């Protein structure tokens, strides 16, 4: 038998299923895991010493906004590869780069900030996927088509629900995107361009999901005082469609809502008995999105991540900026817009309760386009493994790995991913369980994590001891 391409030897394998770790070698050939066991006597072109280390499936970012990043492979550092992420699910919150044919001036915020002011436009979803394939992305990627993107293109007045003709046009775009390779539809009725959309509109636009085995991921209408009503709306859309539902970045915002996760998790657990529904979350008690002046009073602190009219205030506390301007917080925020912000409005106990709930996946929700981004972009996955699993003992390391590998692979239909087993793709990460840690902070959000020895994407070494080795090993994934 010819030599294996690579053997990772002597490590403790956590296979992504939540089963206890097993000390064994992992043999790779042609981008696929071929053999497991004692491979010391097996010939291989390359060997990686993993003694004293954990060998796990590459992490799957269940909620990413890497749509542009996938078209821009970096030369030296990568926020996802450096933390062991080998697959991302992009196109979330109703925002996707395609299909989009309208002039930039007609694109509403926040979609305008998301797509960026450049010349790349993709009239069809398949054109965008072809561009990603042509570049050779740094990570594997599965894609959702965004309802807000479709609304921007087809709904003449975004302050009202779509007409039957507009809804039908959006549904045709969903059908075409699914045929091209999208795994589902995302919605973001929290944001102004889609806020007027009704449950009926979302259900009608998503109708093609049934025949194509797609899913719907929803940034719900409210994550604050009206969260119960918003969850019921999303659950109703999922039931009407008859497809799997993902509640995006589940959280409770606003000081008055601290502690309510116990109730929302019970609601979701009851719903899961009658329909396929799951959630993702990020492991931080602060959120990040556009700076919305009306929202700043709900947070203990607000930090600016970018500002178009006043870029000099990027990275600063809104309270300090407002004091210098001699204005209230909301008035100062209005001066800074369009802008982005980190909102310190969540309760750590809620974060832990949601993260520990059975069936919760891990997603970064990182925003690569922000000048001073939330540290989740660079630190979400090591933070779960180090801070929450090892230090706080919120759950076992095997459970933590399952939440970011086998579980999202199953939920999103990514067959052959998220597991260490013969025949699965060789997406792998080797890390030191005693040292792994997120180092990105709100003051230094671009710091790479510690404790990761190697990251493999489709059998190719993408990162070795913190050095980017290969930024083109990924591929576009389809559901199933």
Give the C-alpha separation, 81 to 306, whole Å. Answer: 24
Is residue 80 within 8 A of residue 107, CB to CB? The reply is no
Give the C-alpha separation, 143 to 135, whole Å. Answer: 16
Q: Could you tell me how far CA 25 lies from the centroid of its own chain?
A: 30
- For each of the domains in the chain, give its residue range(s) and CATH number, in order of start: 59-289+344-409 (3.20.20.140), 290-343 (3.30.1490.130)
- Category of 449 on φ-ψ map: left (φ > 0), alpha (ψ -120 to 50) or beta: beta
pLDDT the model gives residue 480: 83
Task: Give per-residue pLDDT as tens, 125-155.
Answer: 999 999 999 999 999 999 999 999 999 999 9
Take residue 475 and report the two structure tokens written for it. Answer: 């591929």
Task: Give per-residue pLDDT as tens, 45-57.
Answer: 999 999 999 999 9
pLDDT the model gives residue 457: 98
The mean per-residue pLDDT over the stretch 356-372 comes to 96
The mean per-residue pLDDT over the stretch 98-125 comes to 87
Q: Any bridge partners for residue 141, and if so which?
A: 88, 476
pLDDT band for 114, please (50, 70, 90 cuts): confident
Give the C-alpha separation, 131 to 26, whole Å. Answer: 33
CB neighbour list of residue 119: distance below 8 Å, 6 or more residues apart: none
Percent pLDDT > 90 in the chain is 93
Matching residue, tokens 């979701």: 268
The mean per-residue pLDDT over the stretch 119-126 comes to 89
Give the C-alpha separation, 277 to 271, whole Å. Answer: 7
The mean per-residue pLDDT over the stretch 115-131 comes to 89
Helix (H) or strand (E) holding 231: helix 227-241
Is residue 380 within 8 A of residue 404, CB to CB? The reply is no
**Strand order from edge to edge, sheet including 339-344:** 287-290, 339-344, 301-307
pLDDT the model gives residue 450: 98
Its sign, for the CA torsion 183, 189, 191, 196, is: positive
Between the CA of residue 409 and those of 142, 272, 339, 385, 455, what are the distances in Å? Answer: 11, 18, 34, 18, 18
Give the C-alpha separation, 150 to 154, whole Å. Answer: 6
pLDDT exceeds cutoff 90 at 73: no
Give the C-alpha separation, 387 to 461, whole Å. Answer: 26
Is residue 141 within 8 A of residue 87, CB to CB? The reply is yes
pLDDT the model gives residue 186: 98
Task: Give per-residue pLDDT as tens, 400-456.
Answer: 999 999 999 999 999 999 999 999 999 999 999 999 999 999 999 999 999 999 999
The total number of residues shown for the chain amounts to 480
pLDDT exceeds cutoff 90 at 118: no
pLDDT exceeds cutoff 80 at 117: no
**10-14, 66-70, 113-117, 469-473: segment of lowest average pLDDT:** 113-117
Q: What are phi and psi of 8, to 5 degrees?
A: -95, 115
pLDDT exceeds cutoff 90 at 379: yes
Give the C-alpha separation, 290 to 280, whole Å. Answer: 20
Give the C-alpha separation, 205 to 120, whole Å. Answer: 25
CA proximity to 64, closest of 106, 31, 39, 93:
93
CA proximity to 56, closest of 349, 390, 440, 426:
426
**Strand order from edge to edge, sheet including 32-37:** 32-37, 25-29, 6-9, 47-49
Q: Any bridge partners for residue 304, and if so which?
A: 341
Task: Give per-residue pLDDT as tens, 279-315.
Answer: 999 999 999 999 999 999 989 999 999 999 999 999 9
CA proximity to 432, closest of 19, 15, 84, 18:
84
**72-76, 90-94, 266-270: segment of lowest average pLDDT:** 72-76
pTM: 0.97
Q: Any bridge partners for residue 150, and if so which?
A: none
pLDDT the model gives residue 270: 98
Give the C-alpha separation, 63 to 362, whole Å. Answer: 8
Percent pLDDT > 70 in the chain is 100
């Amino acid at each position: 038998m010819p030599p294996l391409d690579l053997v990772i030897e002597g490590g403790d394998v956590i296979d992504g299923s939540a089963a206890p770790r097993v000390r064994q070698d992992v043999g790779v050939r042609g981008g696929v895991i071929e053999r497991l066991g004692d491979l010391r006597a097996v010939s291989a072109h390359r060997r990686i010493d993993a003694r004293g280390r954990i060998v796990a499936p590459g992490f799957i970012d269940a909620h990413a906004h890497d749509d542009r990043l996938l078209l821009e492979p970096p030369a030296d550092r990568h926020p996802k590869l450096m933390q062991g992420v080998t697959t991302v699910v992009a196109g979330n919150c109703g925002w996707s780069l395609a299909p989009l044919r309208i002039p930039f001036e007609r694109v509403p915020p926040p979609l305008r900030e998301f797509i960026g002011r450049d010349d790349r436009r993709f009239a069809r979803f398949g054109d965008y996927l072809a561009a990603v394939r042509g570049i050779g992305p740094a990570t594997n990627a599965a894609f959702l088509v965004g309802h807000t993107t479709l609304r921007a293109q087809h709904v003449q007045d975004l302050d009202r629900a779509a007409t039957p003709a507009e809804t039908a046009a959006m549904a045709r775009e969903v059908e075409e995107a699914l045929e091209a390779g999208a795994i589902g539809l995302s919605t973001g009725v929290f944001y102004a361009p889609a806020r007027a959309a009704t449950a009926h509109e979302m259900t009608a636009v998503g109708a093609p999901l049934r025949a194509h085995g797609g899913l719907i991921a929803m940034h719900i209408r409210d994550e604050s005082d009206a969260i119960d009503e918003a969850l019921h709306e999303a659950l109703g859309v999922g039931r009407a469609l008859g497809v799997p539902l993902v509640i995006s970045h589940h959280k409770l915002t606003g000081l008055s809502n601290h502690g309510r996760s116990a109730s929302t998790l019970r609601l979701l657990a009851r719903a899961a008995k009658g329909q396929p529904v799951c959630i993702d979350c990020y492991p931080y008690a602060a959120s990040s999105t556009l700076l919305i002046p009306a929202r700043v009073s709900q947070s203990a602190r607000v930090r600016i991540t970018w500002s178009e009219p006043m870029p000099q205030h990027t990275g600063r506390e809104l309270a300090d900026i407002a004091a210098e301007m001699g204005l209230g917080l909301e008035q100062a925020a209005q001066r800074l817009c369009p802008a982005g912000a980190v909102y310190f409005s969540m309760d750590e106990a809620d974060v832990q309760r949601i993260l520990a709930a059975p069936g919760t996946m891990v997603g970064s929700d990182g925003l690569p386009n922000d000048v001073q981004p939330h540290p989740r972009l660079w630190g979400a996955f090591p933070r779960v493994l180090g801070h929450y699993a090892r230090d706080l003992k919120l759950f076992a390391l095997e459970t933590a790995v399952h939440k970011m590998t086998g579980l999202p692979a199953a939920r999103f239909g990514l067959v052959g991913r998220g597991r260490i087993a013969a025949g699965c793709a060789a997406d792998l990460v080797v890390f030191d369980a005693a040292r792994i840690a997120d180092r990105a902070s709100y003051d230094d959000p671009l710091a790479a994590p510690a404790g990761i020895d190697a990251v493999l994407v489709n059998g190719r070494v993408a990162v070795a001891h913190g050095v980017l080795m290969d930024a083109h090993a990924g591929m576009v994934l389809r559901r199933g």
